[in-house]
């Protein structure tokens, strides 16, 4: 799904969701100050406050890529985009972009970011790297409902970890679509066997049958997309910051 670069300016058509995978490069910390940087003042302040160099670079790269891709979709200058946030920190487009129904959600893990863009849709995306976990059982207890736990595959540590991470990503994608985030409760939502949609969602979020779940493996990552409404066509592509002519980090 992510083999080819997305065409500059590619927008999701009616009934489509555009998914964009962004390999996160290591960035020079000083590029923030350069004239070509597209981040807002608020984002620069936030980036400067991140001490861990890799996390700082990933934040900068993700926001820069988001601005370039969304700017292309909407046909506007990436610098002109503005966000507002709900009380749990979910960003959404502000101003005329919001009025036109444009929505997005972003996730990052390891050295990848994934963004989903659509129109008039409640949408959430999550990507998680599968890596060995010291405390797998306690993590499973925090994530899985009793029914899900009974279906958690027996077998090697690797298989169990991958299955748990897939469930985690699916639930987080849902909680990000609702905007509640983790505060919404990982056990407030249950995944159908085979990741075939949602078995249970909080009553305030409508019927579980109207929620769509798309889960995929990407090397040692698992990513999930959740949205509310009829099934959409998912169109994927890559965006590489340093291939973009308008970006000179």
Ligand X SMILES: CC(C)(COP(=O)(O)OP(=O)(O)OC[C@H]1O[C@@H](n2cnc3c(N)ncnc32)[C@H](O)[C@@H]1OP(=O)(O)O)[C@@H](O)C(=O)NCCC(=O)NCCS
Q: For binding to ligand X (CB under 6 A), which residues are involved?
A: 59, 62, 88-91, 105-108, 124, 126, 172, 175-176, 179, 181-183
- The least distance separating ligand X from the CB of residue 19, rounded to whole angstroms, comes to 14
- The least distance separating ligand X from the CB of residue 121, rounded to whole angstroms, comes to 13
Nearer to ligand X, 13 or 45 (CB): 45
Residue number with the shortest CB distance to ligand X?
A: 181
What burial letters (b/e) apply to 9-23, b meaning 16+ CB within 10 Å? ebbbeeebbbbbbbe
147 neighbors 190 (Cβ within 8 angstroms): yes
Nearer to ligand X, 149 or 182 (CB): 182
| Alpha-helix residue ranges (DSSP H) falling in 19-105 | 41-48, 53-74, 96-99
- The least distance separating ligand X from the CB of residue 237, rounded to whole angstroms, comes to 19
Cα separation, 202 vs 184, whole angstroms: 9
Cα separation, 11 vs 9, whole angstroms: 6
- The least distance separating ligand X from the CB of residue 93, rounded to whole angstroms, comes to 12
Nearer to ligand X, 56 or 119 (CB): 56
Nearer to ligand X, 62 or 212 (CB): 62
CA 42-43-45 angle, 5° bins: 65
């Amino acid at each position: 799904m992510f083999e080819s670069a997305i065409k500059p300016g590619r927008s999701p058509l009616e009934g489509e969701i555009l998914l964009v995978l962004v390999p996160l490069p290591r960035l020079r910390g000083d590029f923030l100050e350069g004239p070509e940087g597209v981040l807002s003042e608020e984002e620069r302040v936030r980036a400067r406050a991140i001490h861990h160099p890799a996390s700082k670079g990933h934040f900068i790269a993700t926001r820069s890529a988001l601005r370039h891709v969304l700017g292309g979709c909407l046909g506007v200058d990436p610098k002109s985009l503005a966000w507002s946030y709900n009380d749990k920190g979910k960003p959404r487009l502000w101003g005329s972009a919001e009025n036109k129904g444009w929505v997005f959600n972003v996730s990052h893990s390891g050295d990848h970011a994934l963004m989903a863009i659509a129109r008039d849709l409640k949408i959430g995306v999550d990507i998680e790297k599968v890596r060995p976990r010291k405390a797998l059982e306690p993590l499973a207890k925090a994530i899985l409902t009793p029914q899900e736990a009974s279906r958690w595959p027996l077998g090697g540590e690797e298989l169990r970890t991958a299955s748990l991470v897939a469930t985690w990503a699916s639930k987080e994608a849902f909680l990000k679509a609702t905007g509640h985030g983790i505060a919404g409760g990982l056990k407030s939502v249950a995944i159908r066997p085979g990741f075939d949609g949602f078995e249970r969602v909080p009553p305030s979020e409508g019927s579980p049958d109207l929620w769509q779940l798309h889960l995929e493996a990407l090397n040692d990552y698992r990513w999930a997309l959740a949205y509310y409404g009829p099934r959409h066509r998912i169109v994927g592509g890559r965006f590489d910051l340093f291939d973009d002519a308008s970006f000179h980090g």
